[in-house]
Amino acid sequence: MDIPLNMNKFLELAYLLKDDIIEILKTSKPDWVFYDYGTVWLAPIAKSLNIASVHYSITPACNICIQNYSIIWRR
């Protein structure tokens, strides 16, 4: 996804908040967390803290299956 130059400040802010989010997860110890395409870095962090994670996607499941199928068979 392309981000316009005038919006880069928000992307930089999101990455600066990553350490704060890790600290919040450590202290609050949630049972699970939701993440979307913009925060894919959250899943490995949650896993390292033994927190279940759920990927929320508005893309229909059939599209994801077709995409993953084509990726697997390209190998």
E-only strand ranges, 1-75: 32-35, 52-55
**Number of helices followed by number of strands (H, E) in the chain:** 4, 2
Q: Which residue has the higher pLDDT, 23 or 7?
A: 23
3-state SS, residue 57: coil
Share of the chain above pLDDT 70, in %: 77
Containing domain of residue 47, as a range? 5-74
Question: 21-35 pLDDT, tens per residue?
Answer: 889 889 998 999 988
3-state SS, residue 52: strand
3-state SS, residue 25: helix
What total of structural domains would you count in the chain?
Answer: 1
